[in-house]
Amino acid sequence: MAGARWFVVAVVFGLTCKLIKRNGGTVNAISLKIKQHASVESTVLRPRDESEVNVGSLDPVGEAEGQRRPDAEIREVPEDVGRSLGDAQNLNSDADSNSHEVGAESGPQGAETSVGFSELGSKVGSRWSSNLESRLAQEMSPHVAAQAVLLIDGGSSKTQPVMFKMQTVGRPGKPRAVLEETILMIGEGKKRQGVREILETFLDGAAGPGWESRPLESDELVDHFPALETQVAEFVGGMLEEAGKLLEQTLSQEEKKTAKLFGVPVLFNSTAGIRDFAAWCASGFFVAVRRAVNVHPPVEGFKFYTDPELTRTLSGEEEGVSAFLTANHLLGYLRRLQRDAANGVMTHAHENLAGIVEVGGASMQIVLPVPVTTLPPASVHVVKMREDGYLSGDYPPVNLLAISYMQLGANSASGAFLKGLCSEPRRLRAGVCHNPCLHRNFEQDCSAGPVTITPQGEVIVNKELKKNRLKPLATYCGEANEDIARRHTTRLTCRAAGISPTGNSLRERVEIPHCTRIVGTGDFGECVRSVDNILLNSAFALPANTEAEGIGFDTPGQIFSTLSSSAPLLVTGASVVFPLKNLNRLGLLPEDYSGSTEQLEQAAVAFCNSPMHREGNKLVVRVRDKELVLDSFTYEDCLRLAFTYTLLSRLNNGKEKPMSVKFSTKIADPVTGKELGSAGWPIGRIVKETQDRVSWSMRAYENGAAFSYGFSER
């Protein structure tokens, strides 16, 4: 019996070989197709719209270059990848139709067929070889699959999970690549307590009250790490549960399959909120975070994982460059640079990218494209985007000035400004600090605590120590900071900011000596001079700005006389944008305001020099025939406007001036108004991590979720 089977196999094999030979060239055709599908080397993104774009107006390149609708069809992939995908689809169709045609050759069920064995063998052999060709081509073709990413924004005042999805393409023998233009935010989780608050609470228990004012023994505090680990596990677990449910509700069935197969990488990053915190404490926190992510069981079938590169504190440079990448990615400028480089078009990157000024809660980032031919002073550090790993070799050389300033975020700047202003003898008289950045008739207790204006029009200052806006600065300028004992310049910058770093308590450091009351004088000109002297162009760097000093500029005021840029500029941050919008509503600034210092000065003088009036339970500022009701946010608008005016004035004093300036917390198409995404660092962080395809492929696919499964057993 066995011999008969082998005889049949031999006969069929011989007939098949004759059929392939009779269909001349089929084997060669298969080989040729494989070569065609294997040559998927190019990563140049195919443009949807080849038309030129007015960079000066921050116009995006084409429609939906950045964010896409969740249901949008992915039409654009690398050119060769796109061709191969199309060929593979055609081959699949051919194979399917061929299989149906074979069945069609036979007659109705039970009927005799007139097709002879030789003729039928020829047709079957032809279709068999065509089907084999299709299958071989499919094996060599690219495969597009969805991947989910969880980014957790550990900001200075809150922590928030944000979910993204993106399309990836895999090719035989090549690292799986992320199609950057498909990165899309699909949802946000609820806001939780900030990372700094978690660490401070931990030290309150582990080190005891008053730890901010004495040297900390890290060796002893390590014994308390299990308590931190338990707290972090609960904190992180809640965000993972929320993210898993969001993915289950949002992704399509096909997207869920591949997202679960890949696992979900987690990027948990903190920025200025803990950048000035004890390094060993922040490092311990992220060790606990990484373990909490990696040991957490799958949620709705999604396995989350992370590693030391994805989950950590970002430097000021990284925060600024990531915000820069976000803006230029969403506007399509990065893609255009990549396309031009692939086509051999000579491009001056600094003329085709947008700069950014980002004002957060604790820090301000300034990122400007500069010509690659510019030779800055030896003391100035310039970011080389390709060499420093922010962009791949597909791009032309891109150089940036990227610098972050601690204490210049909205909350920190308010505290530092009051401390500096009310410490000046000419401002402080008989216990009353006269503040030109507050409207006349406005009064508050002398404290850097947050201000609340009640529905009854009462101004209340929160005296709780942990809420004081000077607390981060005063903590840095305390003996718990190792640099206080080690570096003379650290002690010097603290004293210049009005804080004695030794021999006093945290409460004493946040107080404003001899001051009991603050009253507004409503003088925008004086406000501008004070903001410049205290915040933007102070005699010494503000505390905790070691990184900025290392880059070569102690204060923002020093930058623009040395390095400047004509690139269009996006200024973002609620504390900058919303006061300008209030001037729009009052009819003092045009809706299309584009950074004119003359226009801003005229509008701000009219608003800030107008006194405040009490009307019933409301505190009102009237300008002409319109009014603005002061609340917990708008009462400081004049300080914010002076900050913006001073910064713009400094920018315009440079050799090169921005060709345009836009103010927004969102990045939108200026023609259609369609929102492309939020300004800030998160999207840029994903763009940066996925640039190096080999590194990302190893991190996200080779190790990935499977690597993290073993953590629970270690």
Length of the chain: 714
Report CA torsion sign: 177, 146, 712, 287. Answer: positive
Q: Which of 76, 181, 200, 319 is the catalytic position?
A: 319
Burial class from Cβ neighbours inside 10 Å (0-12, 13-18, 19+) for residue 614 reads exposed
**Scanning the structure block, which residue is given the tokens 């498909």?**
182
224 half-sphere exposure, CB direction, 13 A CA radius: 18
Report CA torsion sign: 442, 444, 450, 456. Answer: negative
- Residue 361 annotated as binding site: yes
Render 156-177 in DSSP notation, one character per residue: SSEEEEEEEEEEEEEETTEEEE
Name the residue among 291, 272, 50, 74 with its Cα closest to residue 169. Answer: 74
Largest Cα–Cα separation, the chain? 116
615 catalytic per annotation: no
Strand partners, 517: 432, 445
| Residue 466, helix vs strand vs coil | helix
Strand partners, 268: 152
- Residue 363 annotated as binding site: yes
How big, in percent rounded to 5, are the helix, strand and coil portions of the chain? 45, 15, 35
**Which DSSP state fits 503?**
S
Name the residue among 403, 314, 327 with its Cα closest to residue 366. Answer: 403
State the Rg of the chain over Cα. 31
Distance CA 394, CA 208 (A): 53
- Residue 362 annotated as binding site: yes
Name the residue among 247, 251, 263, 73 with its Cα closest to residue 161. Answer: 247
Distance CA 348, CA 352 (A): 7
Do 711 and 233 form a contact (C-beta atoms < 8 A)? Answer: no
Phi, psi for residue 578 in degrees, rounded to 5: -70, -40
| Residue 310, helix vs strand vs coil | coil
Q: Are strands 143-154 and 264-270 parallel, antiparallel or unpaired?
A: parallel
| Residue 368, helix vs strand vs coil | strand
The C-alpha angle 519, 522, 528, rounded to 5 degrees, equals 110
Burial class from Cβ neighbours inside 10 Å (0-12, 13-18, 19+) for residue 415 reads buried
Do 324 and 685 form a contact (C-beta atoms < 8 A)? Answer: no
Q: How many CB atoms lie within 10 A of CB 515?
A: 20
Strand partners, 355: 569
**Scanning the structure block, which residue is given the tokens 């917390």?**
665
Do 501 and 491 form a contact (C-beta atoms < 8 A)? Answer: yes
Name the residue among 404, 390, 467 with its Cα closest to residue 632. Answer: 467
Give 696-701's long-range contacts (Cβ < 8 A, gap of 24+): 696/175, 696/178, 697/175, 697/176, 697/177, 698/175, 699/265, 699/307, 699/309, 699/310, 700/147, 700/176, 700/262, 700/265, 701/175, 701/176, 701/262
Catalytic site positions:
319
Q: Which residues are annotated as a binding site for ATP?
A: 361-365
